[in-house]
Structure 1
């Protein structure tokens, strides 16, 4: 466990800028939606009971993570108006929220590690064979270059991570849209998708995923 946490901290401090550069530079809320075929969001289910805090980090409760993640998922994916319902199941695996009071040279970055599943409501089955683990950072800006622990409060850090997580999940869905969502590439040319940053290994950090099917959505009127 100690080796896993040590690796996590090294990746966070030494590799943060490289991963940050791959994240969106502008506010994710302003980014246009990628076409997703017949996708329409049913439920966004978030579980954070087993989220591991990797020090140095501010502490956040499972309820705080579940609330902010659900809000940002609904904000992003609630804009899709496809003909079929799909549910997102997200597990918060681990996080580090940059703390103030550390040397500026270290400039620790905040990071969030999640596992994602997508469910087809009509078929009542999970579309991905294995949960997709992904790591997201806050994003590169003047506020984060010196470490967001010095410039942002905890809710701001969590909101930025949750918004970037929604974007990262969207990229994953785009990669599978022809198989999962009946996307026709001839109908609308796909926009280029930026390569995803490699997940940060969590070693023994719990990788609990939502394997139980979500409740069926109420019939549409």
Structure 2
């Protein structure tokens, strides 16, 4: 019985680890005429949750700028778009007691996008995004035990910038593509809604 439990546990961890794979080596999702112009990250007013490892403004700006460059530098469109991101708040999980008191790392950002040539902001209000580290075999027990501060920041930045990309993909008209078709409605709810 104990062997069966261990086998199931290891299989579950392997499955969770596969869920957190890196997609940057795959071709980028279509984003029309998008090419990355300015990559502006500010963290001057970042708030740290009291139970967190320390990270400086400069560290957040550098790690986020690198994540934006890696994801959006892959696009080779004909028009420049500037991305501005404010790092609003974070918690980097410190070491704790596994499972019972293992806090999760979190990052809150606000993103904006500008048409460079038109010098015009495309979104009416900043898009606030909250992300946690991806679920994997090691993060189930809390990343304070399994990752150092830099690795946590890189994982959070990767997830946040991926969500920014998803937000841009949801607004294709900004990049010379036809608007997304509305989701079909079934019994007063979008298909797939709860």
**Correspondent of 1:162 among 145, 157, 176:** 157
Name the CA shift for 1:32/1:25 in 2 (closer, same or farther; >3 Å): farther
Q: Distance in 2 between matches of 1:54 and 1:118?
A: 27
SS of 1:150 mapped into structure 2: helix
Aligned to 2:7: none
* Structure having greater relative contact order (Cα 8 Å, sep ≥ 6): 1
Q: Distance in 1 between matches of 2:142 and 2:159?
A: 17
Q: Which has the higher strand share?
A: 2
Name the CA shift for 1:167/1:147 in 2 (closer, same or farther; >3 Å): same
Q: Which moved more, 1:40-49 or 1:101-110?
A: 101-110
Matched pairs, number: 164
Two-structure CA RMSD over aligned residues (Å): 1.9
Structure 2, gaps ≥5 residues long: 1-15, 180-191
Per the TM alignment, residue 26 of structure 1 is displaced from its structure 2 partner at its CA by 1.2
Aligned to 1:140: 135
What's the TM-score, normalizing by structure 1? Answer: 0.70
For residues 25-36 of structure 1, the aligned pairs below 5 Å read: 25-36=20-31
Q: Which has the higher helix share?
A: 2
Asked if the contact 1:28/1:163 (under 8 Å) is kept, the reply is: no
**Correspondent of 1:105 among 91, 94, 100:** 100
Asked if the contact 2:68/2:161 (under 8 Å) is kept, the reply is: yes
- Structure 1 or 2, whichever has the larger Rg, is 2
Structure 1, gaps ≥5 residues long: 1-20, 186-194, 196-221
Q: Which moved more, 1:105-114 or 1:117-126?
A: 105-114
SS of 1:149 mapped into structure 2: helix
Name the CA shift for 1:122/1:111 in 2 (closer, same or farther; >3 Å): same
Aligned to 1:182: 176
